Structure formats: C-alpha cells, structure tokens
Structure 1
Amino acid sequence: MWYIIFTVCTISALYGLWLLFKKAGKQGWEAIVPFYREYILTQLTNRPAWWVILLIVPIVNIFIFYGLYLDFLKSFGKRRFWETAVAVLFPFIYLPLWGRDPAVKYLGVSNTEEFRKKYPYKKTVTREWADAIIFATVAASLIRGFLIEAYMIPTGSMERRLLIGDFLFVSKLNYGPRIPMTPLAFPFAHHTMPITGGKAYSELIKIPYKRLPGFQEVKRNDVVVFNFPMEADAPYNRPIDKRENYIKRAVAISGDVVEMRNAVLYVNNEVGYDSDDVQHAYLIYTDGSGLNLERLIEKRFEYAKDPMTGVAIAEPYLLYVTSEEIEEVKKWTNVKQVLPYDNSGSAFPHDNNKKWDFHNFGPLAIPKKGDVVKLNAETLPIYSRLITVYEGNTLEQRNDGVYINGSKADTYTIKMNYYWMMGDNRDNSSDSREFGFVPEDHIVGKALFTWMSYDTDGTFLSKIRWNRIFKGIK
C-alpha cells in the first residue's frame, strides 16, 4: 500500500513540476529527468552548473536538490514560510495547484540582484530565526541519520578496549545507512522525550527495512552499534530503530560456527577474538585487611559494587581485569588467593535440554540469509524467536508437527543475515550469550574512534583522558 501511495505522490509532484517548467519557458519533460532536471534548475536559478556533480555525494545531494528547488519556487514568488513548508512536505498537492493556477507566473531568475531589486522581500526576525533553526535541525538530523552519530559508552562491557565515559563517533556509511523505519519522531531524541518522558516517536508511518549501499559488510571482530533485540518484547514493544543502542564486538558473523569451551571463545573451531585487553572475572581473598579501593580506582581496576550503596561488595572481592592485571594483583602482599569466577548463568537458547552457560556453549551455527534449517524439538528453541519476532511469521507446534503461517513445515529458509555479539569484558557483559542472534536490520553502524573520554573517578586534573582522544577503535 505504501509503495502505491509513494508512486502516486511522486507522479503528482512531477506533474506539478512539469507545469512550472513550462511556465518558466522550458519543456515539461525536462522536469522528470534526474540530473538533467537539476542542470536546468541551475540555469533557472543562476546557480553554478557544477552543483549537479554534488548530487552524487550522499547527504550533500539533499541540500543541493532542495536549494535549487526552493530557489526555483522563489522565481514564482513563493517565498513565505508556509509556502516553503508545504513545498517540502506536500509537493504532490501544491506543485500541481500552483502549476494550474493562472495567477502563479514565472517572474524571472531568482538568484540575481536584478530580481531582488524588482521583487524585494524582507524576512522578519522571527522568520530568520525559524529558517535557521529548521535548517540546523534538518541538517543535524540528516547527518545523524545517514552519516555519523555520537555515542557514549555507559557500561563496562567492552573494557578495556572501550571505557565507561568514552564518547565515540559511529559511522552509518560503513555498513550503509538504514532508511528510517519510524520517520515521525522528535528531533535528536531516540525513543524517549527529554524532560517530560513518554514516547518520542509515532508509529503512524512505518517503512519496511531498507539499507543504502555501504562501504563494507560487517566483518568478524568489528565493534558494532546495534539496536537491542529484546526491546521488541513487553514492556517496551519498541520498533526496531527505536530500541536501545548497544555496542559489542561481532565475534562471529553469518555462516560462522561459534562455541565456548571453559570460557575460551572458538569460531569455526579456531580460537576467536582474543586480546590483552579482554577482561575476565576473578574472586580475590585477602588476609582479612581487605583491598585498598583507592588503589583499585587509581589503577582503573573494575570491581563489583553493591548496586544500592556503590560500595565494593564484601570479601571475596570480585574484580574484572585482564590477564596481565590479575598477575599484578597476585603479587599484592595481603592477597592470599585468586580464583577464576564461574559465571555459569544460563545461556541462549535457555533450553533445559542443552544446559549451556556463559562459559560453555555450542557449537552453534550463526544463521545466514538463504540457509534452510530443520524444524524439530531440538532446533525450535534456537530458531523460534528468529522466525516469529525478527522475520514476522506465526509459528505453532501442533500434535502433528510445526506450522508456519498456518502451513505445515519441517524446514525454514532464513530471510536475513545474523550476528553473534559479545563484550570484551567477558564475565560482565550482557550479550548474545544472553539474548541470542542479532538480525542485520538491527545494525546501526561501525564504531570508528573516541573523540572524548571522561573519567568520573578521575581527579579534577585527570577527568579528561587525553590519551584516548581521537583514538581509533580496533
């Protein structure tokens, strides 16, 4: 239905532009030929012809087109705020109306001194401010939606590669920017209105998932920002692009086989992503004197705190540190014993028959578009959410078998690529071991570099981590 509406609106807008071109002394057909149309507009508006080349540059092309378009309408005397607004929002209505209105005449080339003297038009202060605010809002929204977006690290799940308080730039271009699926939204708000709370978006218009071409596919071990898949469920029930942003490492991509054995990650039966920065959890026992918390803060060692008081949990202390750092801790004179912490919580798909945990699970194949998977008692816990929530089907288990969309089926063909996301802080990360596969339509962008890093535990002079500014993310 939306495709039909879009087609009708496009034809109507082009028809109106055809009529206006004829009024300007041009051929009507010139209004419907992309790029050539803009070349003709540069002639009709006295803008440089080389602007047409900029139409191939993403984001910039939007400003070039609307600059020429609105300059062209000024040639018909359409310069008031409401006329500019409806020309942008409802061209399929107003362009045909103006094209057929005998009172609307072509007055000349708008972007000339002669035109400005002959048809003077002075904007009010209110109009000047409104134009500036609207332009800034549109420009920032386009850049944020299609080019690059700032993101802050709120938790320690990616320590030590990414620290709490790191501010990142996330590229939408690397994997290709998504077309907004929920376009009616309050500017600069993600899913919740600032100050007042409540939804910052409307689901009156929903656009199916589409992604513009990007520079690359998601590669194994990329640091990726994505929408949290579990917010499809109650109480949030949020649309895909309004779900909370998470950042993890894509340790396995579609087609890979992922596994963990005794807390060691394996991908395709080889040791997966590993680094000196990867953290694990350890229990620390002292001689009774306890650990010096100021020392932990000074060394930036992450430790478990009471969520109510913010104070370190009583002995044994739970530290999340690297292999090198735990060797240092072992040398402290009051430390008597160090033990690996066994985070044996249930792991995806949370099936009692498998009994997988965060340290031991798999092997598990990451679904790839076009894969055909069997449907039975063993595989349904793995694929049921994928089939229903992510790919929009109904699934029923009846006495005589499995039914998808009302038809009996013993196999299912995967419609999207999926990814396995994990934090570098392996024992303090909510990731795919908990919520499973991340669909490709949830991918937001690739983390590029930190542009600022703020340390809440630092002193007045060390709040800013200067050594992390403009540091690339690997």
Structure 2
Amino acid sequence: MKLSRLPIWIKAAIIAAITVLLVNVLAVTLCTVPFDGMENSIYKGEKILVSRWSYGLRVPFSTERILSKRAKVGDILLFNNPSPSDPYRSVWRRETFIGRCVGTPGDTLMLDNEYLVTNYKKISPDMKMLYSYLPSAEDTLVALIKHLGIKNNQLAGYGDKRFIRSFSVYEYYILKKYLPKDFVLEPLVKEFNRINSVHSFVIPAKGVKVDVYPWNVALMCNTILHHEKKPAYVRNDSLFVNGRYSKSYIFEDDYYWITSNNPLNTCDSRLFGFVPQSHLIGKAEYVVMSPDRGRLFKKVE
C-alpha cells in the first residue's frame, strides 16, 4: 500500500512517530535515574532530560561523534558503562550510568588510596562524605535531620562506639549551625590521616604523554588494555605495552573522572576508572518526572 493512499490520521501518526524517533536519537533522550548516588542533585526514580548534542552528537550505532566537544567540570552526564561484564558488547548497547564530571582531559586530581577526590569541597556542595558521632547522640541528630528537611538520610554504619551517616557539604554546614556546641560530628576519615595516601593522577588527554608511577600504573594499564585496545600488563609496579617497558604513554582518546555525590555509591570512576569521550551520551539538563512535584522542570546542577 502506498503512503499517499493511507488515511490522513494514519499519515499523521507515522510522521509523529518518525519525528519522535529522530528527536530521541539525534537531539535528546530520557533517562531514569537508576540509583541514589546523585542525591541531592537528582533522586532515584526521577526521569531526566539529556541533551545528546552537549558533547557533539554520537553517531547512532557508533562511537564516532559529530562536532565533538569536551565535558566540563561539574557537568552531570549520561554515559555507557566503561567496564561491562561482557567487554565485547558494543558501547551503545551497554547499560547507562549517570554521574558528575570532576576531572576533564589533562586535569590533575589528588586522589587517596580509595580513589576519592580529596579536594571535594571545590567540586560541588552536594558531594557527600561520611561522618561519625556517638550513639547517645542519635536521637538529637535524627530530630534535627527531620526538622531541617534533610531527605533520604539513613545510617551507613553503627557499632558500640560510633554511628555513621553521610552528609553533603551543605548539609554538614547547616547541621553544624544548629547542633549543640558539645555535639561531636566529625569526618570519618580525617585529613591528617589521609595526607600520606594522597597522590596526583593526570586525566589522560588525546595526544598528551602521561608518566607512569606506582600509584597510577594499574589505572593506566586497564585504560590502555580495555579502551586503547593495546596489549598491556603490570610487573613489579612497571608498565609494559606491546611487550615493551613504558615510563609513559601517549593516549589516543580523551578521558574523564566521574563520581557520585554519595561516597557509599561506587558506580563511578572509583569502580571502573577513566571514562572515554566515546562513552559519553549527553548532559543531564532538566527533571521531567519526579514524585516531588516541586522538582518538575528543575534544571539539573
């Protein structure tokens, strides 16, 4: 049957369906937030509008990009899993994650032994840390959490000596203003205990040489092996690429360091390392569906 012979309403439906498909493939897409790692920026179950043009359009069924652009520090972006259970599965067919970009190609981050960014306060007021307090102070803290309207805050750990909760930089600031002066709410990992375990990590950039050190050799090797597609291995803290000892490596792609707001959620670069430019889908722009009506059409920041 020719299209010209179809009823007008069927033609309109076909055109509308094609238009929606093209917009979804070429311009924007909707993402349902799969976990609570990005609270308080976005919440689990919310639907987010993602712009596919933010970093250059990724050609459908490919990792090539049109008018490729780099993400910026602070962007909340959608990306494909860089470390899937099936490494041979095409990038565009892998599961999607959402997180905040804290390191762009060529940046240097200070990371501790657990790959936590130590200068987190410069990144986002929503970035969370773990804090401990005495069990006897639980009722006081819970009452204040409820009074201040701090949402989705559950015990992260407890024992006879200390209870543990996670708070964002902003939440901690507000709590300290209202808590009694003798209330001790302190970071679980103090800065002076971390200083000896903090090292500099250069985020790989296309065409730029990155030196190899004992603390970054594992990340370097995994990135070269899985994303640069070169045979690589580590022996005695030394990197070997194509069977040769390498003091440095020049990368062929741009990479990013992406984190969750909540340190309890490790679906980020702490788990899978550097995220290639080719895996980026787009930038999260607006909340379009949420159980909290007050958040509808709120810009994602």
Tell me the TM-score normalised to structure 2 length. 0.77
What is the aligned partner in structure 1 of residue 35 from structure 2?
Answer: 155
Question: Separation in 2 of the partners of 1:137 and 1:336?
Answer: 59
| In the alignment, structure 1 residue 390 sits paired with structure 2 residue 234 | no
Matched residue pairs, number? 291
Give the partner amino acid of 1:168. I
Could you say if the C-alpha distance between residues 147 and 396 of structure 1 is closer, same or farther in structure 2, counting changes exceeding 3 Å?
same
Alpha carbons 1:302, 1:319 under 8 Å: kept: no
2:186 to 322, 334, 339: 339
Question: Separation in 2 of the partners of 1:241 and 1:370?
Answer: 25
Could you say if the C-alpha distance between residues 158 and 398 of structure 1 is closer, same or farther in structure 2, counting changes exceeding 3 Å?
closer
| In the alignment, structure 1 residue 80 sits paired with structure 2 residue 2 | yes
Could you say if the C-alpha distance between residues 391 and 141 of structure 1 is closer, same or farther in structure 2, counting changes exceeding 3 Å?
farther
Question: Separation in 1 of the partners of 2:153 and 2:89?
Answer: 33
**How far is the alpha carbon of 1:418 from its aligned partner?**
0.6
Helix, strand or coil at the partner of 2:77: strand
Percent identity, aligned pairs only? 23
What is the aligned partner in structure 2 of residue 213 from structure 1?
Answer: 67
Once the two structures are superposed, the pairs formed by residues 299-314 of structure 1 within 5 Å of their partners are 299-304=149-154
Once the two structures are superposed, the pairs formed by residues 361-440 of structure 1 within 5 Å of their partners are 361-374=198-211, 379-396=216-233, 402-404=240-242, 408=244, 410=246, 411-426=248-263, 428-440=265-277
| In the alignment, structure 1 residue 280 sits paired with structure 2 residue 129 | yes
**How far is the alpha carbon of 1:409 from its aligned partner?**
5.5
| In the alignment, structure 1 residue 250 sits paired with structure 2 residue 101 | yes
**How far is the alpha carbon of 1:286 from its aligned partner?**
4.2
Question: Separation in 2 of the partners of 1:331 and 1:376?
Answer: 46
Superposed CA deviations along residues 73-120 of structure 1, whole A, max 9, x for unmatched, are xxxxxx637xxxxxxxxxxxxxxxxxxxxxxxxxxxxxxxxxxxxxxx
Could you say if the C-alpha distance between residues 264 and 241 of structure 1 is closer, same or farther in structure 2, counting changes exceeding 3 Å?
closer
Could you say if the C-alpha distance between residues 369 and 337 of structure 1 is closer, same or farther in structure 2, counting changes exceeding 3 Å?
same
Question: Separation in 2 of the partners of 1:147 and 1:211?
Answer: 13
Could you say if the C-alpha distance between residues 160 and 218 of structure 1 is closer, same or farther in structure 2, counting changes exceeding 3 Å?
same
Could you say if the C-alpha distance between residues 374 and 328 of structure 1 is closer, same or farther in structure 2, counting changes exceeding 3 Å?
closer
Give the partner amino acid of 2:283. K
**How far is the alpha carbon of 1:416 from its aligned partner?**
0.4
Superposed CA deviations along residues 363-400 of structure 1, whole A, max 9, x for unmatched, are 10100000224567665312111111112222256899
Alpha carbons 1:224, 1:447 under 8 Å: kept: yes
Question: Separation in 1 of the partners of 2:19 and 2:143?
Answer: 46
**How far is the alpha carbon of 1:429 from its aligned partner?**
4.8
Question: Separation in 2 of the partners of 1:138 and 1:257?
Answer: 44
Superposed CA deviations along residues 281-327 of structure 1, whole A, max 9, x for unmatched, are 22343438747968756723333369xxxxx9787543222223432
Question: Separation in 1 of the partners of 2:300 and 2:280?
Answer: 17
Give the partner amino acid of 1:123. L
What is the aligned partner in structure 2 of residue 473 from structure 1?
Answer: 300
Alpha carbons 2:105, 2:255 under 8 Å: kept: yes
Unaligned runs of 5+ in 2: none
1:326 to 175, 180, 186: 175
What is the aligned partner in structure 1 of residue 23 from structure 2?
Answer: 143
Question: Separation in 1 of the partners of 2:142 and 2:239?
Answer: 58
Question: Separation in 2 of the partners of 1:360 and 1:274?
Answer: 23
Question: Separation in 2 of the partners of 1:301 and 1:366?
Answer: 34
**How far is the alpha carbon of 1:273 from its aligned partner?**
1.2
What is the aligned partner in structure 2 of residue 37 from structure 1?
Answer: none
Alpha carbons 1:286, 1:337 under 8 Å: kept: no
Alpha carbons 1:397, 1:403 under 8 Å: kept: no
**How far is the alpha carbon of 1:211 from its aligned partner?**
0.5
Alpha carbons 1:248, 1:431 under 8 Å: kept: yes
Superposed CA deviations along residues 337-374 of structure 1, whole A, max 9, x for unmatched, are 43323499xxxxxxxxxxx98x9542101000002245
Alpha carbons 1:145, 1:177 under 8 Å: kept: no
The structure having more radius of gyration, on CA atoms, is 1
Between 1 and 2, higher relative CO (CA 8 Å, sep ≥ 6) is seen in 2
Could you say if the C-alpha distance between residues 283 and 401 of structure 1 is closer, same or farther in structure 2, counting changes exceeding 3 Å?
closer
Give the partner amino acid of 1:421. I
What is the aligned partner in structure 2 of residue 452 from structure 1?
Answer: 289
Unaligned runs of 5+ in 1: 1-78, 82-120, 182-206, 307-311, 345-355, 455-463
Q: Report which of the two has the higher share of strand.
A: 2
Alpha carbons 1:279, 1:323 under 8 Å: kept: no
Question: Separation in 1 of the partners of 2:239 and 2:72?
Answer: 37
| In the alignment, structure 1 residue 223 sits paired with structure 2 residue 69 | no
Alpha carbons 2:221, 2:239 under 8 Å: kept: no
**How far is the alpha carbon of 1:446 from its aligned partner?**
0.8
Give the partner amino acid of 1:80. K
Once the two structures are superposed, the pairs formed by residues 172-187 of structure 1 within 5 Å of their partners are 172-181=52-61
Question: Separation in 2 of the partners of 1:123 and 1:434?
Answer: 53
Question: Separation in 1 of the partners of 2:235 and 2:270?
Answer: 29
Tell me the TM-score normalised to structure 1 length. 0.51
Could you say if the C-alpha distance between residues 279 and 378 of structure 1 is closer, same or farther in structure 2, counting changes exceeding 3 Å?
closer
Give the partner amino acid of 2:6. K
Give the partner amino acid of 1:318. I
